[in-house]
Each structure stands twice: as C-alpha cells, then as structure tokens.
Amino acid sequence: MTVTSADVARRAGVSRTAVSLVLNGRGEGSISAANQARIHAAAAELGYRPNASAVNLRRRSTSTIGIVTDEITTSPFAGPLLQGAREAAFARGYLTIVADYGLDDAREHQMVAALRGRQVDAFVHAAMSMREVTPDPSMVELPTVLANCFAPGGPAGVIADELEGGYRAARAVFDQGHRRVVMLAGRDQDEREYIPATERRRRGFERAAREVGATQARVIDAGWSIETGARHAAALLDVPAAQRPTAFVCARDRVAVGVVLAAARLGLRVPQDVSVIGYDDETDVAAQMSPPLTTIDLPHRRIGELAMELLLDNVLDGRPLPEQDVLVPCNLVVRDSVGPAPTR
C-alpha cells in the first residue's frame, strides 16, 4: 500500500500542511523543532517518499543540474571531481547531466543550449586542469558555480589552493634541512607563460625558499612526464655530490617518478641520497612507487562536492553564491620519499 502524506500527518499528530512544509524543506520558522522531528521520524518509520514529479512541479524545478566540462570525461585525472559533484547533488535529491564539449567553444554553446532546453535548474562549469574560462553567456543566466577553473568577471569558482600547495611541498623538504633544492615546474618548452596552477605552485615554492634563506633553491621548467623528469634529473644529479641537489619538488607525480628512476640509474638512493616529492597524489602511482611517494593531494573530489553544495545552497535555500573564488586546501601526504638532507 502506498504511504501518503496524510498517513505521515496522522502518525506525527500534525496537519498535512505541516508535513508538506517540513518534507519540502520549508518548515524552518513556521513549524516547531519538535514537530519537525516528529514528522521526519514518522516519514522514516512509514517509509514515505514525496512524489518527485509533484514536488518538482510545485517548485517549478526539474531537480537536475547541468555539468558542462571541457574534457574531464575523456581523461583519467579529474574523474573524482565529477563523482564528488554527482554524489553531493544526489544527497540533496538532485541528478546531474554531464556534457563534455572537448574544448570546442561552438560545441559548448550547443551543449548549454541543449541543457537549458531540458530545463536544468543550474550549472556547474568544470575544467580538467585549473585554468581561466569565459562561461557561455546563456549559462550564467542561471545560478552557476565554476569548478577547478576561474573567471575574472565571475561567477565564482571552487579551485585548489595551489599557492599553498607549492609552499607545503617546498617546506616538506626545507624542514628536513635541504637547501640545494630544485623545483621541476610543469611547463613545456613551447609554453610562453606558466599555466595558472604551475605559476601558483612556483610562487609558493619561492616563498618557502625565502623564508628559510635557501639561496641555492631554483626552478627549472621540466614538463609533465616521466621522461622529462628523468632527463632533467639525470643532468642535475650526474655531478659531484657537493654540487648536486639533495631534493626535488616536482610539479606532478609522474615527473617525480622520472626523478626516482634517474637517481636509481646513477646508483643514488631515495631518500638517503636525494629526496623527492610529487604533486597530485595520483591514483595507482604515488602510493605504488618504491619508495612510496610523498606528495601533495590535489583535491578534485572535494572541489566537485563543494561546488555542488554551494550551488544547491543557493537553488534550494536561497543562500547567496560566493562572490570570490573559494580555495580548497592541498594537503601534504607523507610517505617515504623525503628524508633528512645528507650530511656530506
């Protein structure tokens, strides 16, 4: 037998109006806390579920969020962002529709138009790598939050605190006494400027170096791959012990893998002879290294969760969207690839 709101009202000893208000999230200020608790308890006991179509019709809502991405669905790196956003939406009774436009601006406009045609309630615009974006004008006519990207003219984005991440990576080796430290920054030779994430990590590294007076610390552009990490590390390490770096701060875990391989080929031990720290805490890479890689966690999942939470706080509760970008911490993940600076 189907349980109705009238059944819940009888069990809780309240009116059907009170049940409707509370279970539709509008009971605060009009229904006492005690009655709200009784209504929720009665609904749970009876297994009552509001009719989603009727609720959406009253709200003039489809309970769906459009997630527009550049290329996340075709990449293994930022999938947790979508997972975090999807689960945060589901926890509030919403479903998501993901549209990946593959960095094609014309296709982005078409996808936004298609999602608006399906009457999504709001948008998350998500990027695989943190970068500046210009959201489609028809997107921002609805509530919109950016995820892993930012737009100088708004709307606000939820992004990793890359400056603090670069700082924490550097302090992880400086605090172990290392002073001859090289940051292998993620920039390819054909890039004229640092991408935003690399630029902020570099600034964080340089801030930490200034704090400890590490005048021999330096930044070298070294790409993003195992091969470039190995090539640069081999050139830097194949010198007398008194001249070579004692630690590497890498822009990506895969670059760090290259450094560890280069050290091994030269007969150097990690971390006894040279310490190595990565960035990203990449699944199936960092923890599987030998030794397991100390790294910085790139919080893609939390970025997706928080972007969706902020969006639904606005859509469902009327809370204002943030006016400025929201920074998510990049935490140090301590494993075994960083040790004290060698004494010789």
Write down all domains in the chain, each with its CATH number in brackets: 5-50 (1.10.260), 59-160+300-328 (3.40.50.2300), 162-298 (3.40.50.2300)
Tokens of 184: 């292998």
C-alpha span between 144 and 43 (Å, rounded): 33
C-alpha span between 220 and 118 (Å, rounded): 48
Predicted confidence at residue 190, as pLDDT, reads 63
Whether the predicted pLDDT of 59 surpasses 70: no
Predicted confidence at residue 188, as pLDDT, reads 65
What are the two backbone dihedrals, phi and then psi, of residue 251, each rounded to the nearest 5 degrees?
-75, -10
Predicted confidence at residue 164, as pLDDT, reads 97
- pLDDT tens string 238-258: 999 999 999 999 999 999 999
Mean pLDDT calculated for residue range 270-293: 94
Whether the predicted pLDDT of 53 surpasses 50: no
Among 53-57, 58-62, 181-185, 291-295, the minimum mean pLDDT is found in: 53-57
Predicted confidence at residue 47, as pLDDT, reads 81
Whether the predicted pLDDT of 325 surpasses 60: yes
Exposure string (b/e) for 208-228, b if CB count within 10 Å is 16 or more? bbeebebeebebebbbbbbeb
Q: Are 202 and 164 in contact (CB under 8 A)?
A: no
Whether the predicted pLDDT of 48 surpasses 90: no
C-alpha span between 212 and 174 (Å, rounded): 7
C-alpha span between 265 and 110 (Å, rounded): 51
Whether the predicted pLDDT of 56 surpasses 80: no
Report the share of the chain in percent with pLDDT over 90: 67
C-alpha span between 228 and 58 (Å, rounded): 58
| Rounded alpha-carbon distances, angstroms, from residue 154 to 182, 317, 334 | 36, 21, 36
Predicted confidence at residue 76, as pLDDT, reads 64
Predicted confidence at residue 1, as pLDDT, reads 63
Predicted confidence at residue 170, as pLDDT, reads 98
Whether the predicted pLDDT of 318 surpasses 70: yes
Mean of per-residue pLDDT scores for the chain: 90
